[in-house]
Amino acid sequence: MTDTPTVSVRPLDPSDEPRWRELFRGYRDFYRLDESEDVVSRVWGWLMDPGHECQALVAESADGIVAIGHYRRFPRPSTGTVGIWLDDLFTAPEARGRGAARALIQRLTGIAGSEGRSVVRWITADDNHQAQALYDQVAARTHWVTYDAAPASS
C-alpha cells in the first residue's frame, strides 16, 4: 500500500481569500510581475463576481489549499467551438510534485468534457521546465508562438 497524499479540487470560496492572496502573490512573484495589491484585489473581486468570466479552482491536501487555478471560457471562431483557457496555475513551492497541478488540470478537462467544450488550453514560460514536465504528460504541446502588442495611444 502506497502512502500517497490525496489532493481534492473544488471551486474557490470566499473563505479562501487569505490563502488565495498568498498563492496569487506567489504566482505573480514567480513570473516577476510588479507587486500590486490593486491587481490582487481586482482579481479577487473578479473571482467573487458570479457575472465575471474569470473563475477559480483550488487544490487542497491535508495541509490546506496548496494550489490555485484561474480559468475562463473562450470562443474559437476557427472551429466554431468554445474552449476553456487556464490563465493562471500556481502550486505552493513546498507542495510541488504532489499532484495538485495535475488534479486541477484533470478537473478542468472534466468540466470541459461535461460542458461539451473543445479544448483546455494554457501557456507557460519557456523556461518553466518543471511545469512543462507535467504538461507534456497531460496535454499536447502546440506549435503556436504567442505575441503581445501594446494598445495604441489615443
pLDDT in tens, the chain (154 residues): 444 568 999 999 999 999 999 999 999 999 999 999 999 999 999 999 999 999 999 999 998 999 999 999 999 999 999 999 999 999 999 999 999 999 999 999 999 999 999 999 999 999 999 999 999 999 999 999 999 999 999 8
Cell of 38: 490593486
For the chain, domain boundaries? 8-138
Q: What is the pLDDT of residue 4?
A: 52
Partners of residue 88 on adjacent β-strands: 70
Task: Using alpha carbons, select from 58, 80, 73 the residue that is nearest to residue 120.
Answer: 73
**In the prediction, which pLDDT does 143 show?**
93
Query: What is the rounded CA–CA span in Å between residue 59 and residue 109?
Result: 15
Q: Does domain 8-138 have CATH number 3.40.630.30?
A: yes
Q: How many CB atoms lie within 10 A of CB 101?
A: 24
Specify the pLDDT at position 3.
Answer: 47
Helix (H) or strand (E) holding 67: strand 64-76
pLDDT value, residue 5: 61
**pTM recorded for the entire structure:** 0.92
Rounded to whole angstroms, the Cα distance separating 138 from 80 reads 24
Cβ neighbours of 26 (radius 10 Å) = 15
Count of CB atoms within 10 A of residue 86's CB?
21
Identify the pLDDT of residue 154.
81
Query: In this structure, which amino acid lies at residue 16?
Result: D
Res 1: pLDDT:
41
DSSP designation for 56: E
